[in-house]
Amino acid sequence: MSAIQPPESRVWWKQPVEPLEITWIVIAFVWGLVMFAMMPYWHVFGKQNLANEAYRSTPEAFSAKTQAMIDKHTVREETHKVQDVELKIPVVRPPAGADVYLIARLWQWWPMLELEAGQTYKLHLMSMDWLHGFSLQPENINIQVHPGYEHILQVQPTRAGTYSIICNEYCGINHHTMASRLYVVEKK
Amino acid sequence: MALNRMFRTCPMTGLRVHQPAEALIKVNAVAAVVSLLVGGVLALLVTLTRWKAPGMLPPEWYYLVLTGHGLDMLVFWIIFFEIAILYFASSILLGCRLAAPGMAWTGFGLMVIGAIMNNVAVFRGGSSVMFTSYVPMQASPEFYLGLILFAVGALIACFVFFGTLVVGQQERTYNGSVPLVTFGAVTAAIIAVFTIASGAIILIPTFLWSIGLIDHIDSLMYRAVWWAFGHSSQQINVAAHVSVWYAVAAIVFGAKPMSEKVSRLAFLLYIMFITIASAHHLLVDPGLTSNWKIVNTSYAIYLAVLASMVHGLTVPGAIEVSQRQKGFTRGLFEWLRKAPWGNPVFSGMFMSLLGFGFLGGISGVIMGTEQLNLIIHNTIYVPGHFHATVVLGTTLAFMAVTYFVIPAIFRRELSFPKLAQWQPYLFGLGMTMLSLFMMGAGTLGVPRRHWDITFAGNTLGFEFPGVAHLMMALMGLGGLLAVIGGAIYLLVVVHSVFLGKKITTPDFKLVRVAEGMAAVPARPAGAALQAHGGVHAWAAPGTFTLAMVFLTTFVLYYFINWKYLSTVWPLK
């Protein structure tokens, strides 16, 4: 009886199982266990994990903290052109180990950060309006950025260079213009 | 109201076809094909925009068209077709009358109104919020209302399906348990009820928010609940297209399931574990713990993945057993070489199986691994994955089975049979290219849903490596091939249905089935002796070899991704 006809016996769950099938089921089950174990394993022995640290916040509170950081640690200002609009962006260089704030908003990352290679920073991410996607290139680290949730990650830049942060969550008509830089410099 | 109990016997398959069920299958299939046509035109525009050389649409049109493409394909084409499958798997496979055809027509009407309303909202502009419509970005109220009406219609169809199962059982139109394909369809319908409930929980408040009755919807809550709808609806597709695989194996080869128990338990695993896949989309979101993410994203130790791996073995395994019984026993693969590769019902189904497993399945598990998601989330790798699952897997399987439905249900010969023969290959090849190159570009960080990855006129832009742009061009080429393949499908289907040669059978007549009872086919003698498909101890060595190739690919690619992850910046 084929698959479009009723099985021979009504009580199908008592039919014998093919040895080939049971072998495959065991293999697939064991592979599932291995894959399952990899995730906790990486939390213990791997270096790329999210912290589970996040707080509810408001745009006002987050902007205030970001502004305080900008006031204290701005080292220079850069001028950029985005779709024929001139934009002055502060470049902030917080001390190693500090809390670093990055605002996502339509359609900018604010401010620009300069970090030291080999140091660890606490990066706070939050959106002021819609959903955004923090996408660090060419590292290819991608994190969802929500409004109202302050997400905290400990990051450790490894190599000096100029990195890009692009937005990879669709956020409206100028989504594709939302990009910024992140500088990593050698430890002094 | 008198019940319509008119049946005809299909001369091709011997199935008894209930008149109202046949009509409803036809209209749902037609609505599906119309949605595919609209979605396909939009697919062409999306392809020609993301491929930078033609770079066809301006940004506002690109985002509008991408929204429409997602909805028409992922929701309307697939769900209309699935409703047709539900009616086929219940009324026709069980040989019983469809329960409450009036309700079924009401459901169909709501679905059509909903689909049109949603499309109008999208095309009027102002609702370019993508398939996912994440809050706080807002679409017009008609956008959400259209989806809600469509979902209510689909829910009614699910209950007509359940009712039909009861009718079949009470009127004793079949022996014993329901066929495996019907069992798979039951799985799909149960998942559909859960899915639609989740959709209602999130879309109704969102609709109220869009008309100003609710003032805030939390973006994280939206994503968590919306994906219980969005991801689970893809699991309806999996259950539906796996049922189609079994059906095609039965129709083309007369193949029996290797063992009913294994295949049915695998379907049960879908019901139990696949519904927690919402987590796949939240792996890099704030506010959720890793414990929650790990348990949910792995479907509680990969039990739903296990189910798909089982079906991936038992479907070709059943075909192999059946082919070997017909004498194709030389070597490991004579059964496969001598399979009817010129029959689009088979070739489409088999490519669907390979594409879903090798491309869609493996990439899905990789993306759904908590930490690996960091290097994949929201890159174009994601659409690469789901074009392999939903298009190569579901759409190609549905296309394949259409070539059976046209003669069996529409009673027309296939027009342009040569073109129809080539169609699955062209579509399958194009879609494979599209998926692979999307995944390749995604590995290099190219974002999804992005109008311009060259960042022209933006001094802050990122310069992607040349190979990323090359991959996007190759993706465009694959997309074009797939669009041509899709156009051939539409041409063959529409021409066959409206202008194809009618199939007439000399002794064809409608039979009025006696009140309450259709004739139950006699159980073939000695059936109990062959209670399951395989008669030999190790009945499908070729399939097992293929499965080992699959597993090796899976394991290697899985660890390659961990290796890649280990090179990026440490995060805690």
Residue A150, strand partner residues: A55
Interchain contact A80–B (C-beta under 8 A): yes
Integer CA distances (angstroms), A34 to A41, B302, B313, in order: 10, 10, 20
* Local structure of residue A151 (DSSP, 8 states): E
Does A27 sit within 8 Å of B219, measured CB to CB? Answer: no
Tell me what pLDDT residue B364 has: 95
Q: Output the CA angle B51-B57-B63, nearest 5 degrees.
A: 95
- From chain B, the residues in CB contact with A172 under 8 A are 63, 137
Element (H, E) at B42: helix B19-50
- What pLDDT is attached to residue B511? 66
**Looking at residue B536, what is its pLDDT?**
52
Predicted pLDDT at A16: 83
Alpha helix segments (H runs only) across chain A: 19-45, 59-73
pLDDT of residue B14: 81
Low-confidence residues in chain B, pLDDT < 50:
514-518, 522-534
Q: What is the pLDDT of residues B473-515, one digit of tens each?
A: 999 999 999 999 999 999 999 999 999 999 887 666 666 654 4
- For residue B6, the surrounding DSSP H or E stretch is strand B6-9
Substitution target in A108, A110, A121, A176 with the highest count of B β-carbons within 10 Å is A176
Cα–Cα separations (whole angstroms), residue B336 to B332, B346, B423: 9, 11, 20
3-state helix, strand, coil split of chain B in percent (to 5) is: 70, 5, 30
What is the distance, to the nearest Å, from the Cα of residue A166 to the centroid of all Cα atoms in its chain? 11
Distances, alpha carbon B362 to alpha carbons B250, B308, B328, B563, in Å? 27, 11, 31, 16
Q: Please spell the DSSP secondary structure of B9-26, one letter per residue.
A: E-TTT--EEEHHHHHHHH
Q: A82: which chain B residues are within 8 Å (Cβ-Cβ)?
A: 457-460
- Multiple choice CATH, A53-185, 3.10.20.30, 1.10.645.10, 2.60.40.420, 1.10.1060.10: 2.60.40.420
The Cα B32–Cα B83 span in angstroms is 10
Tokens of A83: 């779709």
Cα dihedral sign for B10, B16, B20, B21? Answer: negative
DSSP string of B50-107, one letter each residue: HSTTT--S-HHHHHHHHHHHHIIIIIIIHHHHHHHHHHIIIIIHHT-PPS-HHHHHHH
Question: pLDDT tens for residues A136-165?
Answer: 999 999 999 999 999 999 999 999 999 999
Closest approach of A63 to chain B, Cα-based (Å): 18
Are residues A144 and A169 in contact, defined by beta-carbon separation less than 8 angstroms? Answer: yes
CB A124 within 8 A of CB A151: yes
pLDDT for res B1: 55
Hey, are the CB atoms on A156 and B93 less than 8 Å from each other?
no
Structural domain boundaries in chain A: 53-185
Query: What are the structure tokens assigned to B449, written together?
Result: 């849903």
pLDDT digits (tens, 9 = 90+) for B201-248: 999 999 999 999 999 999 999 999 999 999 998 999 999 999 999 999
Q: What is the pLDDT of residue B532?
A: 47
Q: Do A25 and B447 touch (CB under 8 A)?
A: no
Spell out where B369-480 has E strands. none
Contact list in A for residue B137 (CB cut-off 8 A) is 130-131, 171-172
Q: Do B378 and A169 touch (CB under 8 A)?
A: yes
Which A-chain residues 57-76 have CB contacts (< 8 A) with chain B?
none
Higher-confidence residue of B523 and A20: namely A20
Instruction: Give CA–CA dist B225/B201, Å, rounded.
Output: 8
pLDDT for B507 equals 62
Distance CA B331, CA B127 (A): 57
Instruction: Let me know: does B250 contact A4? Beta carbons within 8 Å.
Output: yes
The beta-carbon neighbor of B532 closest among A5, A15, A50 is A15
- Taking residues A18-35, report their average pLDDT: 95
pTM of the model: 0.94
Contacts of A153 in chain B (CB under 8 A): 571-572
Across all residues in chain B, what is the average pLDDT? Answer: 92
Enumerate the domain spans of chain B: 376-455+462-504
For residue A90, the model assigns a pLDDT of: 97
pLDDT at res. B508: 65
Residues of A in contact with B286 (CB under 8 A): 54, 125, 144, 146, 149-151
What was the pLDDT predicted at B276? 79
